[in-house]
Amino acid sequence: GAGVSQSPSNKVTEKGKDVELRCDPISGHTALYWYRQRLGQGLEFLIYFQGNSAPDKSGLPSDRFSAERTGESVSTLTIQRTQQEDSAVYLCASSPPPWNTEAFFGQGTRLTVV
């Protein structure tokens, strides 16, 4: 079956512009995560969705970052007024019920802010 799909694969944007990144989780997966991975660095947790419950936004670095997910389907991560330090690979992962323990990752979106 299809894995976690992210689009676009690469995005180059000008400083100050808004960008929207998309994640299609594996069908039936109730949990969805967004992470940021700067060049050569580890995973930085951004946000976690669990079913229809309120998301855990504790990792969002600033109010320029927001994410939405409708039910258990597609999620979008929006970065407003992009800055050069936002340049990174943004990873999405989803996990199946009932325990949501194993995460399946997408290939990531490489964002470059110029």
Partner 1 sequence: AQRVTQPEKLLSVFKGAPVELKCNYSYSGSPELFWYVQYSRQRLQLLLRHISRESIKGFTADLNKGETSFHLKKPFAQEEDSAMYYCAQPYYHFQGAQKLVFGQGTRLTINP
Sites of contact with partner 1 (CB under 8 A): 30-31, 33, 35, 40-43, 45, 48, 50-51, 53, 56, 91, 93, 95, 98-103, 105-108
Rounded alpha-carbon distances, angstroms, from residue 4 to 40, 58, 62, 83: 23, 23, 26, 27
Distance CA 35, CA 70 (A): 19
Minimum CB–partner distance for residue 64 and partner 1 (Å): 23
H or E element that contains 93: strand 88-95
Distance CA 35, CA 59 (A): 9
Minimum CB–partner distance for residue 113 and partner 1 (Å): 22
Minimum CB–partner distance for residue 74 and partner 1 (Å): 18
CA-derived radius of gyration, the chain: 13
Which of residues 31 and 60 has its CB atom nearest to partner 1 in the complex? 31
Which of residues 98 and 114 has its CB atom nearest to partner 1 in the complex? 98
Minimum CB–partner distance for residue 20 and partner 1 (Å): 21
